[in-house]
Structure 1
Amino acid sequence: MTFGCLSLLRTGYQSGQLHPGDVWRLFLSRARADKEAHATGSALSNLGVTPTNAILSIVDQSRVCMHLEHIKQPDRARGRELFLWATPILVKDNFCTDWTKWGLLTTCASRALESFQAPYDACVVDILARDGAYVFGKTNLDEFAMGCGSTDSALAGPVINPWSFHQPGTEKPLVIAGGSSGGSAAAVAAGLSPVALASDTGGSARIPAAYCGVVGLKPTYGLFSRHGLIPLADSLDVPAVIANSVADVSAVLFTWLDPDLQPTTSLDGTCVPVEPSWRNKTRAQLLQMANESPTCLEPPTRMRIGIPLEYHVPGLDKNVAKVWDQVAGWLVDELKYPVRVVRMPHTPMATSVYSVLCAAEVASNMAR
């Protein structure tokens, strides 16, 4: 699934080689196997990997069958192709998911919300559903998304990185998945879902994606609506996406920017209007990346890549620094991008400023 799982799904559906029922049953069975192995304390699930405890809830089989009875192939002859039709997705459990539609609680991994039945879908979930995607579960996280390890879930306990290897009776520790979107990252890395929604306030999607060896992207603040995302820090929260490849992340962004799929909540004060010309140009580039077109690797005119000097901190692991330098060289030698060292002198202050802003906004939101 490393190279564009979603594009393979689209091709398979269009050719008739794949059927939604078979695909959904595959991922549902993998998700259930992970949950069962963790519940029984098994060192390995029947998937052959360490149980991740990545998923808090899974849709009932009856709802899956009911949805399959009503699913229809998109009518491409009308000029409108559903890009994510029948794509199974997981959603971080701080996004609202309509209880009547999915039968999934929205808990934020907190005892305070453990029985909350959301009456609507979050905007970004609604857009994917309008495009034909199917939400089959909610992922584990730090309670109210406040954490960086996914170790503080009040409902299910810590998420475990699927790259862990633990044998009963040994002292070798399990590895954390990062947070707060560790459930989404671990689920994708373990093959429980091709894509998962996340949120990112101060690294909550990017950190676990890096820890679990997958791709996580925090879009520009204000580009997508936060309607239905339970807030942590309003001036920093952003809906994010985690997948196995840049192509799959691009497919989700392409859909989120589709003007024909926007609900009324997409311009609710938590995001800014997008210029049509910019939207069209960006979606064209995302489509190329989602389809893994060779032309998407051509360097855009006037684009330069900067590597901040301040990010080479004393505590940076030498192996990480080595790979970083190798990637920079690859961008220059293979893709012909101009790469420059840049200065970001305020970087040392970033953590302190973030801590003050985040703490103040979290206190305000938790007091509601």
Structure 2
Amino acid sequence: MVSTHHERASIELMTIYQVSKILGSSLDVHKTFREALNVLLSMMGWRRGAVILQTEEGLLCGMCAVGLSKDESARLNFEVGEGIVGKVFMSGVAAVVPDIAEEPLFLNRTGAVDQSPDETIAYLVTPIKADRRTLGVLTMDRTVTSRTSVFDEDLRLLSMVANLMGQNLLLHRGVSAEQGRLYEEARRLSKALKPVYQVDMAIGESSRMQQVFAEVHQAAPTKTTVLLRGESGTGKEVIARAIHNLSPRKNAPFIRVNCAALTESLLESELFGHEKGAFTGAVGTRKGRFEMAHGGTLFLDEIGDISAAFQAKLLRVLQEREFERVGGTAPIKVDVRMVLATNRNLEKMVAAGEFRA
């Protein structure tokens, strides 16, 4: 226990120095406040101490404590105006209880009265303030003897520590608020800068549609043949046109053929063209859709409906980009981007031998 006035002043000075050093070492107030309480109690020979702060809900709850068990610390909960703690918080004025056993406003939440029945225990509470607001309270209790029955010096020291804690809390909350603001701003900017893909004649903001649009943007600049799959009426032609319009071929022709609407013989003539006299009614040479789409994109819809025999002819064109007109023998080379579409299950058709892999 502190003895002479000179020794007391020296110890107080060292205590304040150590506490301020700890509080300035980190913005983790849970860590620094506990360490500061440890120093305060150790240097001054006090029994127990606690920091009790007001929550967002308005309740006063223990933030950290020294000399109390985990269970005891959990019981440091008060309403504003309740008991010594609540009244000091509400009034903003420090209070001293010379003997907790004789004070009806001391609520004995942690069982302090029962732990030392043969000793007189004093309880000191001082508000923790910052920016003209009371943020919480700092409490301390100690044994009272004939030599330590005056509490002015204890209260002065406790108030100095509470003032340091208040400034530290204000700084911590300011930094936390700024971090929260920066996080929200970063989240907002991230959302704003997140790519939003769009295609002509199609609207979709859902994650699935954005994924489709992203794949369109990814595939469009390449020369790769594209297969579109989906039920009838789901907009496969719209996607095919979007691939064409976003590609380097956008100024060249986009030619569409519905394979399911034509017989095999008509489809061959439609796609590859024919020479004069190739069949009855072929009164002149006619270019097919492959030649018409030269330099651009050929969209073959319902590709799953063509026969196996025609699949072989089409496969050669896909591989070699070369064909002959119906009734002709001269090979014709074309530069055509192929986009195919079907609503059929091609995997099952391949397994059943109905479609060439």
Class of the TM-score when normalised by the shorter of the 2 chains: under 0.3
Please identify the structure whose Cα radius of gyration is greater: 2
The structure where strand makes up a greater share of residues is: 2
